[in-house]
Structure 1
Amino acid sequence: MGLIDQKLLPTAADVDGAAARLKGVAVRTPLINAPVLDERLGARVFLKAEILQRTGSFKFRGAYNRVSQIPADKRSAGVVAYSSGNHAQGVAAAAKLLGMRATIVMPNDAPKAKIARTRGYGAEVVLYDRAGGEDRVSIADRLVKEHGATMVPPFDDPMIIAGQGTIGIEIAEDLDRLGLKPDIVVVGVSGGGLAAGISLGIKSRAPAARLFTAEPEDFDDTLRSFLRGERVANDKATGTICDALMSNTPGEWTFPINKELIGQGISASDEEVGAAVRYAFMELKLVVEPGGAIGLAALLAGKLDNVVDIRGKTVVAILSGGNVDVEMFAKLIAG
């Protein structure tokens, strides 16, 4: 695919439409404020707890918004998706709710809990070896042709982006009820669907808000793409505890939105992410997977200090998922 026609990109109106579609289906997750975190960072800090979303991550929102719009005459052929785990579960759960078959292509080194839960929603799981260079998109394309199914990509789709954007609407509305506006919003990014959606939802209601993407070190393709003004790729396919944040390059649909509405990013090391997972559990009593803790990790590590003064500001970070293997979680919280 070449350059995306700007007129085809999703808008705030598409996010509003997704919110209506998801009402009563997706969980309206809480926006949590913890005094201990406020004191540590010198700001009013809120955490959007997508760890409490259906399937344990934000991915259900975009998946349901996309799958629910498949025409009735195409539903019998089912859906195909590729994912390291959270999108897999989101698509599997959405398909089950809508009475559709789902086939999910997943890496064989994905967390066992994510593979098991995807199968638990009734999906067929096809494993591939990403470390060995197998291409998940090619595998998924083949399955689509074999079954006549509909592809549901993890992030690079207008309806997926719009579904994730409902998080931004909820953040703005919940803060408004407190008489607040978001000054700074930190969003974890891989392919960029969550960031693109949230930026549309937030900016339509709080245009002065500044958004930042957060990524693992050595997997900061979005940050480097911002600096270059064009999409660049990571050198590595694996090698971070943030298994949900290893997409190779920003999406064709997501990057134009993120470049325009965000345009700035930060990163955190695996050690800093592990510390954030531990902090969330010990201090906030929350279970967060490494990829879901990247925004919190960047805040706790002071990664914004050289970019913006957060003191006295209203700051939001997204806890995007809580699907972590027991063994990994035990290791991280032990320190």
Structure 2
Amino acid sequence: MFQRRRARALLVVLVLLSLVLVTVDFRSGDDGPLDRLRGGLTAVLRPIQDGLVTLVRPVGDAAGSVADLFRARSENERLRAQVDELRERRRSVADVERENEELRELLGMREGTGVEAVAARVVALGPTGFEWTVVIDVGTDDGVERDMPVVNGDGLVGRVIQVERNAARVLLAIDPNFGAPARHAANGETGTVIGRGGDPMLFQPFDPEAQIEVGDEIVTSAYQSGAFPGGIPIGSVASVGEVTAGLVLDVQIQPFVDFTRIHHVLVVTSEPVVELPPFELSPDPEFTPPPGPPTAEQDEGDEDDDEADPDADGSDGSDGDDAEAQADDEDGT
């Protein structure tokens, strides 16, 4: 209690002393005793102050540098996180743009071929390494059946070989077990195309003397009750071989489809070939068809008429009697 009172009293004394000194210094002007005292103290303390500043400044600068370092490191981490986020957004935008482009190509393929199809996404590769297959996310619930063709925006992908309710397995066109009817897009030469794994596909025209050149386009060929619609691009001619002893021309085909990057496909569900109605001519009223050979019924009818009328052929039986009378006259003569 006593110490608190002393502290309060000392504070009051110091405040009053400060007020007195300020008042005296203000009234004394520049040449007052306090001003001279202040100048003397400044002259004495200035070197000490400069020394202290010189001594303390590196420490302060170092402390400021450390603070700036931590501040810069934190800012750097924030900027790096922002850059990573922007890169991720850029990749997402690029992926969306690529997907949109693939979907537009699928739409163009469906409109160009005029077929009915079901869009699908590739969800997995084949279960084994001995075949070139992919798994898609549509099945029997979507109207997909076995042997249906599969295409994408670039051309022929393959055909369905196994179907489940919500999934299907597709044999790719480059698989060695794959085969499809094909034709030359320009001159219409037909043949078959087969896959050869990682090697170019092989087109074998039925005519070994077919005119085929490098760069020509090969497309699918449709026929009645066939599985593939006509006109689907397969690939371009990479090289034309020689006719072998078996009269077979081997033409290597570079497929249009990049089988290492298949994401979206179309499963063709419509019939590949529409059977046309028979061609009929309108009858000509002035045309009279020539008589044809008699039928069996007509022959039987003619025999019945001959039996009913023996003189139908122009002879009435008197010719025989006249012949006998003539013979008797000649003998009498």
Same fold (TM over 0.5): no
Structure whose residues are more often helix by fraction: 1
TM-score normalised to structure 2 length: 0.22
TM-score normalised to structure 1 length: 0.22
Structure whose residues are more often strand by fraction: 2
Greater RCO, CA 8 A, separation 6+? 1
Flag the structure with larger Rg: 2
